[in-house]
């Protein structure tokens, strides 16, 4: 039986780390694509030379062409540029929209049955672009953000309480940004809500730190952004899909009435399995939580409308 095929588009820090982790878990053969000549080939060869030490028997191919991605089962898209000093938000959006359009066209043409996982920022808007360009059903186009945001939330709770992160389960909904909605009452430590374990003011500061988690790392690194946690978050999604785990994970998906949000890409808890998003997992929200989610969804819709206007459509 042939192994699953996973293509990772973009061989920068996030893409290369994703490829390495996928190989180490032996989830399938990996194709690493980038426009820079020699770079994906060199990184792939370096990873292949780790095989004897780690003992994983999958193939890792580096290429500048999309031909090798044909018939991929899952495609992780990390291509794009980070915001640079002096660059306007509109410039960043315009550049990454164009990149994601081209990548999606190339991928969809060669792997019409693939499941797409977007990592490129601004995340929610890029998932919208990939869905529109690919023409794939909503089950097969999603974004990695909630897994990362929930991981950050869990990390900070673990640090606060001095407990194992394995005991912590977190819910984070909404867009990937300052208006994400971490649900404190649905976030638990060994089944106990954190609202019973951590004072309200400390919970609020942990939520704020979670919202600004990416910015905190950018400020520390000065010349780059987070890549270990984003990569492993994408890998968790690939793992749930290829192993048909039916795992409940927060992902950016197209809401069609769920949680009162319609025709907008937003972070919601979903059941991930071999078909992709097999179901949106609905929980009852309080009035305040629902209002926060609606506001977050409205901001995403605004951004998508802005992209439409920029592209003159």
Residue 311 scores a pLDDT above 80? no
Mean pLDDT throughout 99-105? 97
Distance CA 74, CA 28 (A): 10
pLDDT for residue 142? 98
Residue 27 scores a pLDDT above 90? yes
299 is catalytic: no
pLDDT for residue 85? 65
At 49-99, the pLDDT tens digits run 999 999 999 999 999 999 999 999 999 999 998 766 666 777 888 999 999
pLDDT for residue 178? 84
Residue 169 scores a pLDDT above 80? yes
pLDDT for residue 312? 67
65-69 LR contacts (CB < 8 Å, sep 24+): 65/33, 66/33, 66/106, 66/107, 66/110, 67/110, 68/7, 68/31, 68/33, 69/5, 69/7, 69/9, 69/31, 69/33, 69/106, 69/107, 69/110, 69/111
Residue 243 scores a pLDDT above 80? yes
At 209-218, the pLDDT tens digits run 999 999 899 8
Sort strands 29-33 and 5-9 into parallel, antiparallel or unpaired. parallel
Half-sphere exposure of 299 (CA within 13 A, CB side): 17
Sort strands 60-63 and 192-193 into parallel, antiparallel or unpaired. unpaired
Of residues 131, 176, 299, 306, which has the active-site annotation?
176
pLDDT for residue 313? 52
- Domains of the chain: residue spans and CATH: 5-143 (3.40.50.720), 146-309 (3.90.110.10)
Distance of CA 311 to the CA centre of its chain: 24
pLDDT for residue 11? 98
Structure tokens at 95: 């550049």
pLDDT for residue 52? 94
Distance CA 66, CA 33 (A): 7
At 108-151, the pLDDT tens digits run 999 999 999 999 999 999 999 999 999 999 999 999 999 999 99
pLDDT mean across residues, the chain: 94
DSSP three-state, residue 193: strand
Mean pLDDT throughout 195-208? 97
pTM: 0.96
pLDDT for residue 222? 87
Residue 263 scores a pLDDT above 70? yes
Residue 205 scores a pLDDT above 80? yes
Integer Rg of the chain from CA = 19
Distance CA 95, CA 80 (A): 8
Structure tokens at 141: 């186009």
């Amino acid at each position: 039986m042939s192994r699953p095929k996973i293509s990772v588009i973009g061989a920068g820090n996030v893409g290369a780390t994703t490829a390495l982790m996928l190989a180490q878990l032996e989830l399938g053969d990996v194709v690493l694509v980038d426009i820079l000549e020699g770079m994906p080939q060199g990184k792939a060869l370096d990873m292949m030379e780790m095989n004897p030490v780690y003992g994983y028997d999958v193939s890792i191919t580096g290429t500048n062409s999309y031909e090798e991605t044909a018939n991929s089962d899952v495609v992780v898209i990390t291509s794009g540029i980070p915001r640079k000093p002096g660059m306007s938000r509109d410039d960043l959006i315009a550049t990454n929209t164009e990149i994601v359009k081209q990548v999606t066209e190339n991928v969809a043409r060669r792997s019409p049955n693939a499941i797409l996982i977007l990592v490129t920022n601004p995340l929610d808007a890029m998932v919208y672009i990939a869905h529109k360009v690919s023409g794939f059903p909503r089950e097969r186009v999603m974004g990695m953000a909630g897994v990362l945001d929930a991981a950050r939330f869990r990390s900070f709770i673990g640090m606060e309480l001095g407990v194992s992160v394995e005991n912590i389960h977190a819910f984070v909904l909404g867009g990937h940004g300052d208006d994400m909605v971490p649900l404190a009452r649905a976030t638990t430590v060994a089944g106990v809500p954190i609202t019973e374990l951590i004072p309200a003011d400390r919970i609020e500061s942990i939520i704020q730190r979670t919202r600004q988690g990416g910015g905190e790392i950018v400020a520390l690194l000065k010349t780059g952004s987070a890549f270990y946690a984003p990569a492993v978050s994408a890998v968790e999604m690939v793992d749930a899909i290829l192993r048909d785990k039916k795992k409940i994970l927060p992902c950016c998906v197209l809401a069609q009435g769920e949680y009162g949000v319609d025709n907008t890409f937003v972070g919601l808890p979903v059941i991930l399995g071999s078909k992709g998003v097999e179901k949106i997992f609905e929980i009852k929200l309080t009035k305040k939580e629902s209002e926060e989610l609606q506001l977050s969804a409205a901001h995403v819709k605004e951004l998508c409308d802005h992209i439409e206007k920029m592209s003159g459509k």
